[in-house]
């Protein structure tokens, strides 16, 4: 693309800091990669990708919804290997998600580079309102605000936000060749009987005035699939190209392309209308493909990033959430973009560009919480004041969670977790926690949102004393909250907690330090498939993915703390008989 909206030129900056890479920063230049790209490139909950090239560096920004800090930015130099680099919305002056409903918060960031700056626009959704489903009637009132932040460094401090508008979501900033800038976003029509997804609107942005100026114009009404969203504009060979998502972010998702000689249209649709979709191909691994963005390599190759889902084979549910894939594309002689084979199908492999191999150090499986900062793989929920929830210095070498509100609270919930990024995994921790009464709990949690989780927790009651049990919140059951019988625990001893997930099967185990040599398995098998977008009652937003982590509650308001010595997360192959395995072969105990 011959535009500064999606990629920088030869003088674009590299990241201000970079971890030492396996390919080496000195000596002979590494040869071009010969291995194909394996999709998804960003596994686990990483939806709504926006990609930009700045010099030799590529960055993908993805949505984080109610998780804090906001927006994930991954970095690559060869499109094959990626590392999580930064989360730019990390302070209260930029983002406050307290009270944001589940699957609201930060939607669909757009990352661009121009004029020596990185530009990031995003939506903060405050109310979801009535969903758009068959049979729904009446108004659908939603609140979403679109913002702009900038930074000269991708991993530096980003500016405080400029509010752009509130008329829709999925904003994208286009930098035209004459230096003018334009915002496009989908337009939300709340009126009863109208198409909620009313089209793509364009309006000029004034850098000098720091606001949108001129008339807002609807430049594209969408395709027959409906649910028109996720717009991105590009300029190539005298044409303006408009990329959109169609069909909603479920099984009917698709990528559409239109073009015009004039910025404000009219736009004509691609001859095939949709350039990528899995909606008619249940046989392909990557489903739900849509919400795409384009990037051009240094050598003129075009790649498209898009979100996708990998459903469990025997459940049809995507516990890993919406992930990010990338696919090589080709421009035809007719000036239209297509997949390499012309079929418009998402693929698990795609040819890599002719770029030097650039790998990154492997993330350690075990975090011992010895540093004063939370490891980058972990996030918390909603609040820009994490010191109210946890500390890594109150007891050095431990993550201390302060007991706060109920699990699932939309305000101050002490829950620190990382993404589930594989269908089969082992995770474990050890917690030092002595609850005084039934309103204090702490433990290991597998969490999707306030209505979907399995929580192996320690608590206390007057009869049994300190004990262990599982609370499950199950959205597709007549009784949504389910508890296992309590298991008595000795006081004064840390307790090791463990979870094993194999596709839809989830098992918990525990071991009391200084008492038990081997793990004790809970007899129940839990349904991991509820930790997915698809497990829900109609009308609720479900756009994130499964997390595994640590939590602590104190409903009496006394902030009773729980100290976690480590957290271990290991992806692995499928195991048919999980509980029959010897624990010490697979997870360290302390």
**Catalytic residue positions, numbered:** 48, 229
Say how far apart CA 170 and CA 168 lie, in whole Å.
Answer: 7
Residues in CB range of 444: below 8 A, 6 or more apart: 427, 428, 429, 431, 455, 456, 457, 497, 498, 499, 508, 548, 549, 550, 551
The residue with tokens 């939506």 is 123
Please tell me whether residue 528 adopts helix, strand or coil conformation. Answer: helix
Query: Which of 19, 72, 22, 68 lies closest to 45, judged by CA?
Result: 72
Contact call for residues 21 and 161 (beta carbons, < 8 A) = no
Q: What tokens does 493 get? A: 């001893």
Residue 77 Rama label (left phi>0; alpha psi -120 to 50; beta): alpha
Residue 77: Cβ-neighbour burial (10 angstroms; 0-12, 13-18, 19+) = buried
Instruction: Give the span between the Cα atoms of 333 and 336, in whole angstroms.
Output: 7
CB 256 within 8 A of CB 243: yes
Whole-angstrom distance, CA of residue 408 vs CA of residue 425: 24
Q: Are 33 and 320 in contact (CB under 8 A)?
A: no
For residues 408 and 450, the answer to whether their CB atoms sit within 8 Å is yes
- List 183's β-bridge partners, or say none: 173, 203
Cα dihedral 424/428/434/437 (nearest 10):
0
How many Cβ atoms from other residues are within 10 Å of residue 148's Cβ? 22
444, 438 Cβ separation under 8 angstroms: no
Task: Give CA separation, 250 vs 93, 244, 257, in Å.
Answer: 34, 15, 19
Contact 162, 211 (CB under 8 A): yes
Tokens of 158: 């980003």
Q: Which of 454, 416, 410 is nearest to 552 (CA)?
A: 416
Element (H, E) at 549: strand 547-554
How far is the C-alpha of 461 from the C-alpha of 436, rounded, in Å?
8
Please provide residue 528's backbone torsions phi and psi, each rounded to the nearest 5 degrees: -75, -15
Contact 386, 68 (CB under 8 A): yes
User: With contact defined as beta carbons under 8 Å apart, do 495 and 522 qualify?
Assistant: no
Distance from the Cα of residue 527 to its chain's centroid? 22
Helix, strand, coil share of the chain (percent; to 5): 0, 45, 55
Return the structure tokens found at 337.
């973009």
Round to whole Å and give the CA distance between 490 and 278.
53
């Amino acid at each position: 693309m011959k535009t500064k909206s999606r990629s920088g030129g030869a003088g674009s900056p590299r990241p201000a800091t970079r971890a030492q890479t396996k390919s080496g920063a000195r000596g002979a230049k590494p040869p071009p990669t010969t291995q194909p790209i394996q999709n998804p490139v960003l596994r686990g909950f990483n939806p709504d990708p926006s990609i930009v090239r700045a010099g030799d560096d590529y960055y993908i920004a993805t949505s984080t919804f109610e998780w804090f800090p906001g927006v994930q930015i991954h970095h690559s130099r060869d499109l094959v290997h990626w590392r999580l680099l930064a989360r730019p919305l990390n302070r209260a002056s930029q983002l406050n998600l307290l009270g944001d409903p589940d699957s609201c918060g930060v939607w669909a960031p757009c990352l661009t580079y121009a004029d020596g700056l990185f530009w990031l626009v995003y939506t903060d959704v405050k109310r979801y309102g009535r969903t758009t489903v068959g049979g729904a009637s009446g108004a659908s009132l939603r609140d979403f605000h679109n913002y702009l932040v900038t930074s000269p460094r991708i991993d530096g401090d980003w500016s405080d936000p400029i509010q752009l508008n509130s008329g829709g979501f999925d904003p994208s900033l286009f930098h035209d060749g004459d230096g003018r800038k334009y915002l496009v976003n989908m337009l939300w029509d709340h009126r009863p009987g109208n198409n909620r997804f009313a089209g793509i609107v364009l309006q000029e942005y004034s850098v000098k005035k720091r606001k949108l100026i001129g008339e807002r114009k609807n430049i594209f009404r969408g395709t027959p699939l409906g649910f028109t969203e996720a717009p991105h504009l590009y300029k190539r060979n005298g044409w303006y190209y408009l990329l959109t998502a169609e069909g909603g972010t479920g099984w009917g998702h698709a990528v559409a392309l239109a073009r015009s000689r004039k910025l404000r249209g009219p736009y004509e649709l691609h001859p095939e209308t949709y350039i990528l979709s899995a909606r008619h191909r249940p046989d392909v691994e990557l489903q739900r493909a849509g919400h795409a963005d384009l990037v051009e390599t240094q050598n003129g190759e075009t790649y498209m990033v898009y979100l996708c889902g990998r459903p469990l084979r025997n459940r049809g549910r995507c516990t890993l959430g919406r992930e990010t894939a990338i696919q090589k594309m080709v421009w035809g002689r007719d000036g239209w973009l297509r997949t390499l084979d012309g079929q418009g199908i998402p693929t698990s492999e795609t040819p890599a560009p002719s770029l030097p191999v650039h790998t990154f150090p492997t993330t350690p499986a075990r975090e011992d919480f010895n540093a004063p900062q939370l490891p980058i793989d972990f996030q918390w929920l909603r609040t820009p004041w994490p010191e109210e929830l946890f500390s890594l210095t109150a007891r050095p070498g431990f993550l201390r969670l302060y007991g706060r509100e109920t699990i699932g609270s939309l305000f101050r919930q002490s829950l620190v977790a990382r993404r589930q990024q594989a269908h089969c995994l082992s995770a474990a921790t050890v917690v030092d926690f002595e609850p005084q009464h039934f309103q204090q709990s702490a433990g290991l949690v597998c969490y999707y949102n306030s209505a979907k989780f399995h929580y192996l927790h320690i608590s206390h009651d007057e009869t049994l004393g300190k004990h262990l049990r599982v609370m499950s919140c199950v959205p597709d059951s007549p009784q949504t909250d389910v508890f296992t019988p309590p298991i008595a625990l000795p006081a004064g001893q840390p307790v090791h907690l463990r979870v094993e997930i194999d596709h839809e099967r989830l098992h918990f185990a525990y071991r009391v330090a200084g008492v038990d040599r081997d793990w004790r398995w809970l007899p129940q098998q839990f349904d991991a498939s509820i930790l997915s977008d698809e497990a829900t009652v109609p009308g609720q937003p479900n756009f994130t993915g499964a997390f595994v982590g640590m939590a602590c509650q104190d409903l009496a308001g006394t902030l009773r703390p729980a100290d976690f010595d480590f957290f271990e997360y290991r992806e692995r192959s499928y195991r048919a008989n999980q509980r029959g395995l010897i624990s010490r072969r697979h997870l360290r105990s302390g």
